[in-house]
């Protein structure tokens, strides 16, 4: 869910309701069980090491899909949100925590 203060600020900045709903749907996508996010997280070397050191990555079994190699539940939660405005650009930054261990920081949504 989008932070209420951020939502109010976006409304005050005259961002359209459709655009706010788009941002909320993206935030909601990262606040559920989401196995597809694992592939993008795996590309980050530090997160990959965290997965492997916590026994959350199956690198031995062959013939399974990439997302199935992740052995955790893939419960994602948006843990921090921040609104940034600069010039004519508006962004909502957020961090994602996966299974309480892995943090993916600095994701953002551009608002037009």
Closest listed residue to residue 30, CA positions, set 111, 110, 93:
93
Q: Which residues pair with 95 in a beta bridge?
A: 80
Confidence grade of residue 21 (pLDDT, cut at 50, 70, 90)? very high
Q: Confidence class of residue 91 from pLDDT cuts 50, 70 and 90? A: very high
Rounded to two decimals, the pTM is 0.82
- Terminal CA-CA length for the chain: 20
Q: Decide if pLDDT at 82 tops 90.
A: yes
């Amino acid at each position: 869910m989008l932070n209420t203060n951020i939502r109010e600020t976006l409304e005050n900045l005259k961002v359209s309701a459709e655009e706010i709903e788009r941002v909320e749907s993206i935030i909601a996508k990262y606040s559920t069980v989401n196995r597809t996010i694992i592939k993008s997280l795996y590309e980050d070397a530090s997160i990959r090491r965290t997965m492997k050191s916590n026994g959350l990555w199956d690198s031995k079994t062959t013939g399974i899909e990439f997302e199935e190699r992740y052995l955790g539940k893939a419960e994602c939660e948006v843990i921090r949100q921040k609104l940034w405005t600069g010039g004519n650009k508006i962004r909502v930054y957020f961090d994602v925590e996966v299974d309480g261990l892995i943090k993916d920081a600095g994701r953002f949504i551009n608002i037009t």
